[in-house]
Amino acid sequence: MLTAGYLALVAYVTLTPNPQGWGPDTFIGRSIDWLTRHGVPHAFAIAEAGGNVLMFIPFGILAWLWVRRWWVAVLLGAFASCMIELTQYSFLPTRYPSLQDVAMNTLGTAVGVLLVAVLARLTRPPR
């Protein structure tokens, strides 16, 4: 149930005609404006890349729980991201697919897998 809810949220954020949460009157929009006014260069690009990483961390956690192989989980994240970007390119002219999105989503997946590995190591009983 958790997996289905997460995947539905990702589909909503990535596959609707208009990007979600990026308007000037949203928290993200106001944050980017504030960062830009305070001298942070490329604030939008940083926020967009960071958002892509954060969005796929849960994917990495869930994928590892499904397959129990770190490299398969990361490949699943890369594949899912490629399918999202291909769908945007093919059917959603108001969206902006990019290879950077694939790279950041894949990085997010890898971070999720790494978090699971670290947590498993930390909670393993001593020998």
- Per residue in 29-61, pLDDT tens? 888 888 889 888 887 888 889 999 999 999 999
User: What pLDDT, in 10s, does the model give residues 47-105?
Assistant: 889 999 999 999 999 999 999 999 999 999 999 999 999 999 999 998 989 999 999 99
> What local confidence, expressed as pLDDT, does residue 101 receive?
97
Residue 15, burial from CB neighbour count under 10 angstroms (0-12, 13-18, 19+): middle
Asked if the model's pLDDT at residue 21 lies above 80, the reply is no
Lowest mean pLDDT among 11-20, 75-84, 117-126: 11-20
> What local confidence, expressed as pLDDT, does residue 22 receive?
63
Range of the domain at 22: 2-123
Going by C-beta distance under 8 Å and a sequence separation of 6 or more, which residues neighbour residue 77?
Answer: 56, 59, 60, 63, 105, 106, 108, 109, 110, 112
- Residue 26 phi, psi (nearest 5): -100, 165
CA quadruple 85, 89, 92, 93: dihedral positive or negative? Answer: positive
Give the count of domains, the chain: 1
